[in-house]
Amino acid sequence: MSEKTDRAIAKLDELLPLLKGLPGAAAPDAGILENADALRRAIVAFHMEAIRFRMHSVDRWLKAAGDDVRCRRLFDELRVELENAGFQTRSHSAP
Tens-level pLDDT at each residue, the chain (95 residues): 578 899 999 999 999 999 988 887 766 567 889 999 999 999 999 999 999 999 999 999 999 888 889 999 999 999 999 999 999 888 765 55
Q: What is the pLDDT of residue 21?
A: 86
Q: What is the pLDDT of residue 93?
A: 59
Residues 6+ apart with CB under 8 A from 75: 15, 58, 59, 62
Residues in the chain: 95
Q: What is the pLDDT of residue 8?
A: 96
Q: How far apart are CA 59 and CA 5, in angstroms?
A: 19
Q: How far apart are CA 10 and CA 84, in angstroms?
A: 14
Q: What is the pLDDT of residue 88?
A: 84
How many other C-beta atoms are found inside a 10 Å radius of the C-beta of residue 20? Answer: 12
Q: What is the pLDDT of residue 25?
A: 72
Q: What is the pLDDT of residue 31?
A: 85
Q: What is the pLDDT of residue 92?
A: 65
